Chain A
């Protein structure tokens, strides 16, 4: 079945450094969604990418969808302690008869050292 790989599993950065998490699949991704989960909290939807090569920005966050739609990335510029949490990507794909399924990556846990 569909597998979504996410790397790295963990990332520790000094406050002010940049951070990137990558989402990959051996098959073509349909729509990529990114979520952020704070420690002890629940995933919060950040953004959805649909088009090949698409780039979207939200303040210090930059989301990219690969040209071949087999990878996606989330880049955070100048991390802050408020960026701490686990970042998940998920592929939203049609599963027939108008329905869809969401396949999550395992997430990248970001720690920011003040």
Chain B
């Protein structure tokens, strides 16, 4: 089956620093990748849709200058949390859609970010 990886799985950083999270589709090509954030109420919140070769589409309320997304290839999307603050501490999950099968999403294992 299709595999999506995320790196790092866990990161602790100081307030004010930037953190980059990678999302890779390991055995398929993904024209579209999604970035989610999970809040304490346990629901996934879609942050942005990342399309290969074009600018990401951000959901309402998500600061695009704060959460930089780059989808440079069909197998890699990155989310950079710039000038991170403690309130950015959260669980970030990516998912990817195959080029050939647009109805199925494959989820990565997630990245836990803790900003001190």
The chain A residues found within 8 Å of chain B, CB to CB, are: 1, 33, 35, 37, 39-40, 42-45, 48, 86, 88, 90, 92, 95-97, 99-104, 106-107, 109
* CA A39 to CA B22, docked complex, whole Å: 26
Task: Please indicate which of the listed interface residues B1, B9, B44, B93 has the most CB atoms of chain A within 10 Å of its own CB.
Answer: B44
19 further interface pairs, Cβ-Cβ under 8 Å (given A90-B107, A92-B42, A97-B12):
A1-B109, A37-B105, A42-B44, A43-B44, A43-B105, A45-B44, A48-B42, A86-B103, A95-B9, A96-B10, A97-B114, A100-B91, A100-B112, A101-B109, A101-B110, A102-B93, A106-B2, A107-B104, A109-B103
19 contacts between A and B (CB under 8 A): A42-B44, A43-B44, A45-B42, A48-B42, A90-B107, A92-B42, A95-B112, A96-B10, A97-B114, A99-B91, A99-B112, A99-B114, A101-B109, A101-B110, A102-B91, A102-B109, A102-B110, A104-B107, A109-B104
Chain B interface size, as a band, is 20 to 34
Distance in angstroms between the alpha carbons of A39 and B103 in the assembled complex: 6
Q: Would you call B106 an interface residue if the criterion is a C-beta within 8 Å of the partner chain's C-beta atoms?
A: yes
Residues of A within 8 A of B112 (CB): 95, 99-101
Contact A42 B34 (CB under 8 A): yes
Which one of A35, A48, A101 has the highest number of Cβ atoms from chain B below 10 Å of its Cβ?
Answer: A101
Main SS class of interface, A:
strand
Number of A-B residue pairs with CB-CB distance less than 8 Å in the complex they form: 54
**B9 cross-chain contacts in A, Cβ below 8 A:** 95, 101
Which residues of chain A are within 8 angstroms of B19 by Cβ–Cβ distance?
Answer: none
**Given the complex, which residues of A lie within 8 Å of B104, measured CB to CB?**
86, 107, 109
Judge whether B44 and A99 touch: CB under 8 Å: no
A35 nearest in chain B by CB position:
B44
